[in-house]
Amino acid sequence: MDQYNRILQQRNGFRTPDVNDLTKIVKDSVPEEFRTDLVPHQLQAAAEKNPLDCRHHHHVHDTATPNSPPITTQRTTQRLHRVEIPSRKAINITPTDPDAVAQRRRFLAKLAELHGPKVSVVNEVDQSSPSLRFQFVNNSILGKGVSKAPDEVMIGCNCRKDNGRNIGCEYLACNCLHDSANNPNGSKVFPYSAAKKNTGCLRDFYLESRHHIYECNDNCNCDMNCKNRNVQHGRRVELEIFKTQNRGWGLRCPVNLRKGDFIDTYRGEILTVQEANERGDKRSADEGNYFMNFDKFTEAKAIPKSEFMYSFPDKVEWHAKKVLDNDWHIYRDPDGEEMWLNPEYIDYLYVCDGMHVGGPTRFMNHSCDPNCRLFTVSYNHSDENLYDLAFFTLEEIPAGTELTFDYKDEDDRSIITYDQALEVERRDGYMPQKCLCGAPECRRYFFN
């Protein structure tokens, strides 16, 4: 307590320690080599080693003099919380090699084509820059054989522009809620909050599910300030494409993000499934997989064998031929039951390829414990083949924290062992990718 009391007794008697005081105390317990790059988990570890932790507001209150102003538990806790998630100032390595300088300049010129707040490049590892083979676009590009539903079939709502404190649509009147999911109470829920503290944030009901989001559109009577318009307005946060230590390039935000904040969409070339398969066959495993399937409205592709035998007993020979022709590989679910191909499955039509064309979210890495999730967003309710792919935060994210999502986005968190990965390689001809996310719940491998 000596160090703590010395700070309290500075200047004129006892006083409530401010953020700088507390930051100094926590920093003093961190080794010198870490002090230029403090992140929340390092500060937390330092606080656990230091006698001063989140309970110190009790000591402050105990040592106050009768004439001192009251020091409330709530106020001191808030101050300590602000110390634990400081804004992070990147230490960028400026290229000096002529080729590296030229590449960085050309990549920044590509970034300048993006609409919205600034997107920067930060490299604290070496002088390299992301590949120049990547082209930034503000909207996805429709490839050959890809078409969206005509605007004539896009139905809008008849809500008054001055509804609900002039923030647009209301529950009882908005046709755009017709296809939305019901909440546990059986009611329709607008996807975005209109509360002052988290305006525009995706509601928990959606964050905790994978429900499709329906926004208002150009045929709606409400105006562009309607609370049911968010993703269509585009990105509204600054982003940094940064070099990681062991996972190539990643993405982060230089400011704190709220739970439910919209980050940006995943964009690229929209291809037919046939063209996507042809491209995938030509790419090596080292090139990575940047395909996103537009399969939100398809039926489950695999069903348990018991369900198949009950519902489709006349399709057993059909299924055997699919397996014989290598159109389907039987596998087992976590309970050990064989999974067969669903005869009612209708394949999706389109795939988004973000390898060479897209937006900043193309640089988001995988995590088995992600802080973001990809949601599907429609404006034309009649078009189930094309829609936006939008990233939202699942939690409050401090500035400078890498933005990640689960490439598989499945509830199954089973660990994939090395032997299981080898079995997949023997069966399908490729080795599942080793996961480097470092999360405690890491699945070790994932199918790319």
Angstrom distance (rounded) from CA 202 to CA 320: 45
CA proximity to 131, closest of 35, 243, 30: 243
Catalytic residue chosen out of the listed positions 4, 192, 214, 266? 266
CA dihedral for 341, 344, 349, 355, sign (positive or negative): negative
Spatial CB neighbours of 55, under 8 Å, sequence gap ≥ 6: none
Spatial CB neighbours of 37, under 8 Å, sequence gap ≥ 6: 88, 91
350 is annotated as an active-site residue: no
Alpha helices in 50-162 (DSSP H): 57-63, 73-84, 98-111
Structure tokens at 425: 């390689």
CA proximity to 392, closest of 352, 368, 361: 361
Q: Are 95 and 104 in contact (CB under 8 A)?
A: yes
Q: From the CB of residue 20, how many other CB atoms can be counted at a distance below 10 Å?
A: 10
- Using only the alpha carbons of the chain, give its radius of gyration: 26
Catalytic residue chosen out of the listed positions 192, 206, 407, 445? 407
Q: In what side-by-side order are the strands of the sheet with 269-272?
A: 141-142, 269-272, 350-353, 291-293
Angstrom distance (rounded) from CA 132 to CA 102: 11
C-alpha separations of 79 from 20, 48, 54, 267, 281 in Å: 10, 17, 10, 40, 55
Residue whose entry in the numeric block shows the structure tokens 């599942």:
432
Q: Are 224 and 281 in contact (CB under 8 A)?
A: no
214 is annotated as an active-site residue: no
Structure tokens at 301: 């592709």
What residues are annotated to the active site? Answer: 266, 407
